[in-house]
Structure 1
Amino acid sequence: MRTERTPRVQRALRLATGTALCLAASFGLALPIPFIAPVLALLLLASVNRPLPLKAGVMLAVVAMLTTGIGLLLIPVLRYYPVSGVLLIGLGLFLVFRFGLRGGNNLIVTFLVIGLTMISSAGVAEFDLAAAVIGALVKGLLLAVLVMAFSHWLFPEPANAPSPPAAARLPEEEVGRVALRATLIVLPAFLLALIDPAGYLPIILKAVTLGQQSSTTARNAGRELVGSTLLAGILAVLFWSALSLFVHLWMFFLWMLLFGLILARKLYALSPTRFSPGFWLNSLITMIILLGQSVQDSLAGKDVYTAFAVRMGLFILVTLYACLMVYLLDRRPPKQVQGLT
Structure 2
Amino acid sequence: MPTEQQIRARRALRLATGTALCLAASFGLALPIPFIAPMLALTILAAMNRPLPFKASLGLALVLMITTGSGLLLIPLLQYYAAVGVMLVCLGLFLVFRYGMRGGSALVATFMVVGLTMISAAGATDFDLALQVVVSLVKGMLLALTAVSISHWLFPDPIDTRPPAPAPTLSADEVNWLALRAALVVMPAFLLALIDPASYMPIIMKSVNLGQQSTVTSARSAGRELLGSTLLGGLLAIVFWFALGLFVNLWMFFLWMLLFGLLVARKLYGLSPGRYTPGFWLNSLMTMIILLGQSVQDSAAGKDVYTAFAIRMGLFILVTLYACAMVYLLDNRRQRRNASNPTYTEDRTC
Report the TM-score range of the alignment, normalised by the length of the smaller protein. Answer: over 0.9
Alignment partners' CA distance in 2, 1:308 and 1:149: 33
Partner of 1:297: 298
**3-state SS of paired residue (1:230):** helix
Could you tell me how far apart the structure 2 residues matched to 1:311 and 1:141 are? 25
Q: Which shifted more, 107-116 or 271-280?
A: 107-116
Q: Aligned residue for 1:232?
A: 233
Match of 1:73 in 2: 73
Larger displacement relative to structure 2 (151-160 or 199-208): 151-160
Offset, 1:171: 2.2
Contact residue 6 and residue 158 of structure 1 kept, 8 A: no
Whole-angstrom CA distance in 2 between matches of 1:136 and 1:224: 30
Match for residue 324 of structure 2? Answer: 323
What does residue 274 of structure 1 align with? 275
Identical positions, percent: 69
- 1:197 alignment partner in structure 2: 197
How far the C-alpha of 1:233 sits from its partner, in A, is 0.5
Match for 1:231: what amino acid? L
The alpha-carbon deviation at position 191 of structure 1 amounts to 0.4
Asked if the contact 1:218/1:330 (under 8 Å) is kept, the reply is: yes
Task: State the Cα deviation string for residues 209-244 of structure 1 (Å, max 9, x = none).
Answer: 110121101100001000000000000000000001
The SS at the match of 1:272 is: coil
1:10 is aligned to 2:14? no
Separation in 2, partners of 1:238, 1:269? 23
1:169-318 equivalence runs, <5 A: 169-213=169-213, 214-318=215-319
Deviation at 1:172, TM superposition (A): 1.8
Q: Secondary structure at the match of 1:69?
A: helix
Q: Go from structure 1 to structure 2 and tell me whether the alpha carbon gap of 1:6 and 1:189 turns closer, same or farther (over 3 Å shift).
A: same
Distance 1:71 1:5 in 2: 43
Task: Give the TM-score normalised by structure 1.
Answer: 0.96
Cα gap change, 1:328/1:21 in structure 2, threshold over 3 Å: closer, same or farther? same
Other-structure match for 2:165? 165
Moved more, 270-279 or 156-165: 156-165
Aligned-residue offset at 1:258: 0.3
Q: Match of 2:241, as an amino acid?
A: W
Residue-by-residue CA offset, 1:227-269 (whole Å, 9 max, x unaligned): 0000000000000000011100000000000000000000000
- Give 1:90's aligned amino acid: C
* Counterpart amino acid of residue 308 in structure 1: F
Mark the runs of 5 or more structure 2 residues left unpaired by the alignment: 343-350
Q: Does 1:147 align with 2:153?
A: no
Distance 1:123 1:210 in 2: 23
Does the 8 Å CA contact 2:295/2:305 hold for their aligned counterparts? Answer: yes
Deviation at 1:335?
3.2
1:113 match: secondary structure = helix
- Unpaired stretches in structure 1, ≥5 consecutive residues: none
CA distance in 2: counterparts of 1:160 and 1:136, whole angstroms: 37
State the AA in 1 paired with 2:297.
Q
Give the 5 Å matches for 1:47-62. Answer: 47-62=47-62
Q: CA deviation at 1:5?
A: 7.1
- Change over 3 Å in CA distance of 1:6–1:85 after alignment to 2: same
Residue 339 of structure 2 aligns to a residue whose secondary structure is coil
Assess, with a 3 A threshold, how the Cα gap between structure 1 residues 187 and 5 changes in structure 2: closer, same or farther: closer
Q: Following TM superposition, by how much is the alpha carbon of 1:7 offset from its aligned partner in structure 2, in angstroms? A: 1.2
CA–CA distance in structure 1, aligned partners of residues 30 and 225 of structure 2: 33
Which residue identity is paired with 1:273? G
Matched, 1:88 2:88: yes
The Cα shift of 1:180 comes to 0.8
Q: Which residue of 2 aligns with 1:113?
A: 113
More helix per residue: 2
For the Cα contact (< 8 Å) 1:96–1:113, is it kept in 2?
A: yes
Q: Once the two structures are superposed, what CA deviation does each residue of 1:101-154 show, in whole Å capped at 9, x if it has no partner? A: 111111111111111110001001111100000001111111111111110110
Whether the aligned pair in 1 keeps the contact of 2:5 and 2:271 (CA below 8 Å) is no
Q: Cα distance 1:3–1:43, how it changes in 2: closer, same or farther (>3 A)?
A: closer
Aligned to 2:346: none
Which residue in 1 is equivalent to 2:31? 31
Counterpart in 2 of 1:335?
A: 339
Normalised TM-score (structure 2): 0.94
Structure 1 residue 167 displacement after superposition: 2.0
